[in-house]
A and B are shown apart, each in its own frame.
Chain A
Amino acid sequence: MSPAKALGALLILFAAVPCLGAEITPADRRSGYADMSRETRAMEDDDTANPGMLSVLDGEALWNQKAGAAGRSCADCHGDAAQSMKGVAARYPAFDATRGRPVDLEGQINICRGDRQQAAPLRFESPELLALSAFVARQSRGMPIAPATDARLAPFTAAGRGLFNRRQGQLDLSCAQCHDDNWGKRLAGNIVPQGHPTGYPLYRLEWQSLGSLQRRLRNCISGMRAEVPDYGSPEYVNLELFLMQRARGMPMESPAVRP
């Protein structure tokens, strides 16, 4: 084969590679839970061994504790979380009509604090915000992820999809290249997961603490050596929206445990 022909064949090969990447079919979807060791799965399944449950109990105490100038607790408006918060985490982020944008669960907790309790917002990744979001998310455990079907969310979900598929950073990688095209293979010693947000906030053994989905997204983005948006940036909420759409129907595991 002449060098020109070889180069041509190579170009065709490379042009064909991106076409291999396709979205995961519902039948192939799997939670990161399925790839964990037996011991780590047992830790997640046992409420007295799952360290995330410590935060859930803290969250329950905060739920009933009065806060802010209004002197109101979450329970004063929402009552029993087992009823009022059932399924809520499974359908967030949701569209906030007054703000004209979607908000995630953490964002909604802080909106409630500001508007209803007249309290200062809780800092991102603070133990209190993680505890409250873990407590709320726990009420949806086992329920299928069911993102809101609000038409106003569509442009934000599309933006999230765009971000997921866009190459970025010094490594010129997109989320999809790992989590759609190469899941199940290994990156260093670890199995590349499909990246479904089924268990947030979750306890990562590596972090030795609970962490939010935004913290996890920051990990990946800095791993791609791309510019990491600040906590609470709309990019994260858009991505969260898209990821929840992508994981539609998968059971909620919060608070999950991951290595």
Chain B
Amino acid sequence: MARTLINVPPKAKRGQVIEIKTLISHVMETGYRRNEVGAMVPRDIINTFLCTYNGEEVFRAGLHPAIAANPFFSFFAVATASGKFEFHWTDDEGNVETASAEITVE
């Protein structure tokens, strides 16, 4: 099943500032809710998001329980060389979701 949506411009000029947008489906369970029988629902949120550009870290975010389900990130990077953006989301259960997008820099 599809888990992520990535928007990286396929082409950019060298030195151009590009916007990157990512969306992932995740419940982002806060750990503060109770279920129908009154037991606490364990916290399960994405706690770290990381983006690398040709292997180099260009963006990192720490997430906390107040962040809504299906977190969306928008951030900027400078297009320096053709290559690959890779995205990693890590949640409290240790699941790592990854996605990538290619860019051609002219």
A: which residues have CB within 8 A of B?
A: 43, 46-49, 51, 53-54, 57-58, 60-61, 205, 208-209
Contact = CB atoms under 8 A, between A and B. Distances in A.
Contacts of A208: 28, 68-70
Contacts of B69: 51, 208-209
B84 to A, nearest CB: 18
Interface string B21-35: 111010010000000
Nearest to B24: A54
A58 B5 CA distance: 12
Nearest to A57: B2
In the A-B complex, list the 7 residue pairs whose CB atoms are closest, starting with the nearest. A57-B2, A48-B7, A208-B69, A54-B25, A51-B70, A48-B5, A58-B1
Interface of B: 1-3, 5-7, 21-23, 25, 28, 68-70, 72, 74
Given A205-B68, A208-B68, A208-B69, A51 B1 contact: no
A51 B25 contact: yes
Contacts, number: 43
A190 B25 CA distance: 27
A205 B28 CA distance: 13
B44 to A, nearest CB: 14
A162 B65 CA distance: 45
Contacts of A61: 1-2
Contacts of A48: 5-7, 21-23
A48 B73 CA distance: 10
Contacts of B5: 47-49, 53-54, 57
B68 A54 contact: no
A46 B70 CA distance: 15
B58 to A, nearest CB: 18
A60 B1 CA distance: 9
23 contacts: A43-B72, A46-B21, A47-B5, A48-B5, A48-B7, A48-B21, A48-B22, A48-B23, A49-B5, A49-B21, A49-B74, A51-B23, A51-B69, A51-B72, A53-B23, A54-B2, A57-B1, A58-B1, A58-B2, A61-B2, A205-B68, A208-B28, A209-B69
Given A48-B21, A48-B22, A54-B25, 20 more contacts: A43-B72, A47-B5, A49-B5, A49-B23, A51-B23, A51-B69, A51-B72, A53-B5, A53-B23, A54-B2, A54-B3, A54-B5, A54-B70, A57-B1, A57-B5, A60-B2, A61-B1, A61-B2, A205-B68, A209-B69
